[in-house]
Amino acid sequence: MHGIRQYKFHRDPRELQKLWAKALVRSAGLKEEEFALAYYAPILHLGARQGSGSDEQFSETECRLIAAWLVSQGTPVPVVQGPATRWLRDGIDWFIRNRAAEGLTQAIVASAFREVAVYVDPLHASRRHEARRTVAEVITKEKPRILIAHSLGSVVAYETLWAWPNLRVDLLLTLGSPLALPGIFADRLDPFEAGQRRKPPG
């Protein structure tokens, strides 16, 4: 399962599957035919936003999530309530300078948190359900023994296994998972049981 910023493969998700399969064949000795991809990126994509990367363009949910992330990273800036605050941009700049985040830009942070915001915002609850349903369908069809999930994909996978308790996998392997991040996912997991930091029923 992929993470954030993979909408670019929406015209042909098989290209993303090939990239993952190639890496897993090389590192884990898997065969390409043993690999299947659950692709949910288009579900969380709301379209291009003019001025992407500017904090004035962040939604209120995005502001709260970015603020929580900056605080968790020790960013020395005051927390200011409300959207469109200058400190968000300054905080991101500080993180880039002081955390050796080479290649990270304001625009990348904006696009990353935009997908996260869509997933957790109650206004887009139907998209959250649809993303999980997409994953559940792939698991039902492919019956994988191991479910590998990266970044936001680990949250979608974890919630899916809770929402569909009849799904069975031997191992959920997460990479770069934000599941335990306070203020972002740790207190927002759904269904309620998923937030109790327990193993999914399957």
124 contacts 166 by C-beta, under 8 angstroms: no
At which of 69, 92, 122 does a domain end?
122
For the chain, how many structural domains are there in total?
Answer: 2
Number of H helices, E strands in the chain: 6, 2
Structure tokens at 56: 């004035």
Residues 138 and 79 in one domain: no
Residues 115 and 131 in one domain: no
Per-residue confidence at 49, pLDDT binned at 50, 70, 90?
Answer: low
| 132-158: pLDDT as tens digits | 999 999 999 999 999 999 999 999 999
Residues 138 and 166 in one domain: yes
Q: Please choose, from the candidates 68, 29, 188, 195, the residue with its C-alpha nearest in 3D space to the C-alpha of residue 118.
A: 188
* Residues spanned by the domain of 28: 7-45+124-196
- What local confidence, expressed as pLDDT, does residue 52 receive? 47
- What local confidence, expressed as pLDDT, does residue 4 receive? 93
In a domain, 101, yes or no: yes
Structure tokens at 31: 């065969």
Per-residue confidence at 183, pLDDT binned at 50, 70, 90?
Answer: confident
Residues 102 and 158 in one domain: no
In a domain, 158, yes or no: yes
- What local confidence, expressed as pLDDT, does residue 81 receive? 55
Output the pTM of the full model: 0.85
148 pairs with which residues across the strands? 173
| 65-112: pLDDT as tens digits | 988 888 888 887 665 555 446 778 788 888 888 876 667 777 778 888
